[in-house]
Amino acid sequence: EDQVTQSPEALRLQEGESSSLNCSYTVSGLRGLFWYRQDPGKGPEFLFTLYSAGEEKEKERLKATLTKKESFLHITAPKPEDSATYLCAVSGNTPLVFGKGTRLSVIA
x/- contact string, 41-60, with another protein (CB under 8 A)? xxxxxx--x-----------
Q: Which of 32, 72, 74, 83 binds another protein (CB under 8 A)?
A: 32
Strand pairing report for 45-50 and 70-75: unpaired
CA 64 to chain centre: 7
CB of 15 to another protein, least distance (A): 27
**Continuous segment of H or E residues that includes residue 105:** strand 102-107
- Rounded to whole angstroms, the Cα distance separating 8 from 5 reads 9
Binding site for another protein (CB under 8 A): 29, 31-32, 34, 36, 41-46, 49, 87, 89, 91-101
